[in-house]
Amino acid sequence: MMATRLFATEPFCMTAGVYVPFDLGLLKDVDAELPRRLGESQLTTLLDDRRFAEAIYRIALADGVMDRVVYQDPPGGAE
């Protein structure tokens, strides 16, 4: 699985921010780190809360999963 922010306007959508690979084990750690009221909220409320994204990034960095992510310039470079 992966986590990233999604920016959507009619009819265009794009990702924004950092791509973060994660698995269900990391998601359990994220849930344990969230304030209890937030962890008990509806999914749409949870996904829109900045603390959810922050927790995913923090847990992924601490776990070392981001060490597997490699960023590369496109062939031919930016023009």
Q: What is the mean pLDDT of residues 64-77?
A: 81
Q: What angle do CA 29, 20, 22 make, to 5 degrees?
A: 40
- Three-state DSSP class for 3? strand
Count CA atoms closer than 13 A to 75's CA, side-chain side. 0
43 located within any domain: yes
Which position has the higher pLDDT, 44 or 65? Answer: 65
CA separation for the pair 9, 55 (Å, rounded): 26
pTM above 0.85, yes or no: no
44 located within any domain: yes
* Residue 10 token pair: 């009619």
| Domain limits for position 21 | 2-8+17-68
47 located within any domain: yes
What confidence tens digit (pLDDT) does each residue in 15-55 have?
A: 776 778 877 888 888 878 887 766 566 666 777 778 888 88
30 located within any domain: yes
Residue 25 CB coordination number (10 Å): 10
52 located within any domain: yes
76 located within any domain: no
**Count of domains in the chain?**
1
Which pLDDT score is estimated for 77? 64
Name the band, by pLDDT with cuts 50, 70 and 90, for residue 7. Answer: confident
73 located within any domain: no
